Amino acid sequence: MRVPRSRLRTRSRLLAAALLAPLLAGCFAAGDGPSPDDAKDGSRLRVALAFPPAENLSPYGADATLLSRLGVTEGLTSLDANGAAAPALAASWRRENARTWEFTLREATFQDGTDVTPAAVAAALGHAAEAEPAPAALSGVTLTAEADGARGLRITTSEPDPVLPLRLSSPSLAVLSAKAYREDGRVDPVGTATGPFEITGVTGSSAATLDRFDDYWGGRAQAAGIDARFIADGTARANALRTGEVDIAEAVPVAQAATLEEATRRETATTRTTSLLLNTAAGPFEDPRVRAAARRAVDTSVLAKDVYEGHADPGAGIYGPAVTWAEGKRTEPAGRARPGGAEGTAITLATYDNRPELPEVAQVIERQLRKAGFTVKLEVREYSRLESDALAGKFDAVVLARNTLLDTGDPVAVLSGDYTCDGGYNIAQLCDKAVDRAVAAAEETADPGKRQDAAMAAEAAILGTDAVVPLVHQRVVTGVGAGVRGVLLDPYERVLVGTGTRR
């Protein structure tokens, strides 16, 4: 099956990339591990999530990570705690030559009862590439996927792709059965995925019901199902955990963390960076001197200490301390413009409230920019109502929390998607030839250590444009009720519940 070159302007998702050196030892932290003596039928888990479905549960949109965090979808590979590709629907793989990889599929069943076959996987990859917009993990990639015997899948890329197994771990490349793909282009994961939990009902943007998928290849989940509630307000999520209404609450606001009992708080270093993105294509920040003035006006030291109350690290670059190899390879940005005057310059600063710290961060940035002479209008929306306008360049500046390793597990991917001329999540609207050359050089580098060096050189080039001002590197606080075990504390924020999660 031919998978065409992904469409330009593809969007990475929030929610939405490789740590090529150890991040954490062993598996993801999971509270308490499963016991073989636990009852298999189990109780249902009550989970509070921050982001409601935004695009009818399509795996190609903002909902991809939601589906993977609830244990609904999975791809050929996953990421282990060290950022390396790990088996998922593919039991193993090997590189035949510079452009060809051979994957061996494990025996698995879709939730509609059909078998996971090489032909089904090849078709799923084809549908992903034909999506409008195509997933960021396939941005600029041309590949051919075809069945090779009963369990083999051969994938050939038009250019050498040293991180293909990492790319295929993206939540947006989830493998679904043929029934999922509609003639009108819609994709329906209900009853067509492969994970340990199957969606059985969705109540608009407020709730979803999932039941255990008993034929899951990894064994029956210990929980009988999941009752998920989508609660955008972070205080309400924390209150729901505190009052026992839910068993797990994701993304507890730092202001609420201290109100939870210590035994119910889990803090995880993540690869998420909160940044100020400046619109380089139109408006005041088209002028690099005005961007430099904004960057100089921003004092990031107060954000980690005051806004995040110590649950974050000050912004150092696009990659934060959770990317353990980055700091030792970081170089000073070159070519920055001399800051110009900002007196009276009017700008619109936007952010979203699904992550409750962001409006407060934006308010601090607003005050700092005003002090420097900017006239600032602050606009706060829910993310689903903000994304399209942000991607269209309708704001002068955006405060955004971005998981730098979410889309593919490859550290270069976020640079390509967010800061190149053809990037699909380029909120900064950056189109700089030097940046594109630096990112392209990193993409073409196969050796892991040299790829890291190239990624950091590209980071320096991007920071030199002042299109992005890194603010803080986040840690995430997850609320876990008493007696709940096996919650997956994932630094990549791709998973939350699994077969061993139970109460």
The tokens for 411 are 């550290």
How many C-beta atoms surround the C-beta of residue 107 within 10 A? 10
**By three-state DSSP, how is residue 356 classified?**
coil
279 plus 176 within the same structural domain:
no
Which CATH number belongs to the domain containing residue 388 in this structure?
3.10.105.10
168 plus 26 within the same structural domain:
yes
Range of the domain at 350: 270-475
Q: Residue for token digits 């006239």?
A: 375
307 secondary structure, DSSP code: I
* CA-angle at 473, arms to 322 and 57, nearest 5°: 90
pLDDT for 183 equals 87
Q: What is the pLDDT along the chain (503 residues), one digit of tens a residue?
A: 434 333 333 333 333 333 233 333 334 555 444 444 443 467 999 999 999 998 889 999 889 999 999 999 999 999 887 778 899 999 999 999 989 999 999 999 999 999 999 999 999 998 998 888 778 788 778 888 999 999 999 999 988 888 899 999 999 999 999 999 998 889 999 999 999 999 999 998 899 999 999 999 999 999 999 999 999 999 999 999 999 999 999 999 888 998 899 999 999 888 889 999 999 999 999 999 999 999 999 999 899 989 988 889 899 999 988 887 888 899 899 889 999 988 899 999 999 998 888 999 999 999 999 999 999 999 999 998 999 999 999 999 999 999 888 777 888 989 998 999 999 899 999 999 999 999 999 988 888 789 889 999 999 999 999 999 999 998 889 999 999 999 999 888 899 999 999 99
288 plus 148 within the same structural domain:
no
Is 28 a domain residue? yes
pTM: 0.76
Among residues 311, 189, 263, 247, the alpha carbon closest in space to that of 497 is found at 247
Among residues 460, 482, 150, the alpha carbon closest in space to that of 326 is found at 460
Domain end residue (candidates: 183, 206, 223): 183
pLDDT for 30 equals 59
Q: Which residues 6+ apart lie within 8 Å of 450 measured at CB?
A: none
* CA-angle at 349, arms to 492 and 398, nearest 5°: 25
Cβ-in-10-Å burial (0-12, 13-18, 19+) of 54 comes to buried
339 secondary structure, DSSP code: P
Phi and psi at residue 198, to the nearest 5°: -115, 130
Is 228 a domain residue? no
Is 492 a domain residue? no
Q: How far apart are CA 113 and CA 215, in angstroms?
A: 9
Cβ-in-10-Å burial (0-12, 13-18, 19+) of 433 comes to exposed
For residue 147, what are the β-bridge partners?
Answer: 153
pLDDT for 117 equals 98
Q: Which residues 6+ apart lie within 8 Å of 168 measured at CB?
A: 75, 76, 77, 85, 90, 137
289 plus 395 within the same structural domain:
yes
Q: Domain tally for the chain?
A: 2
Is 207 a domain residue? no
Is 329 a domain residue? yes
Which CATH number belongs to the domain containing residue 150 in this structure?
3.90.76.10
Torsion of CA 166, 355, 322, 408, to 10 degrees: 10
What ranges make up the beta strands (E) of 353-498?
375-381, 397-403, 468-480
Is 240 a domain residue? no
Q: How far apart are CA 321 and CA 334, in angstroms?
A: 22
Is 305 a domain residue? yes
Domain end residue (candidates: 151, 183, 215): 183
Cβ-in-10-Å burial (0-12, 13-18, 19+) of 201 comes to exposed
Is 411 a domain residue? yes
Domain end residue (candidates: 159, 183, 207): 183
Q: How far apart are CA 493 and CA 68, in angstroms?
A: 9
Q: Residue for token digits 């998981």?
A: 403
pLDDT for 20 equals 32
Q: How far apart are CA 316 and CA 323, in angstroms?
A: 11
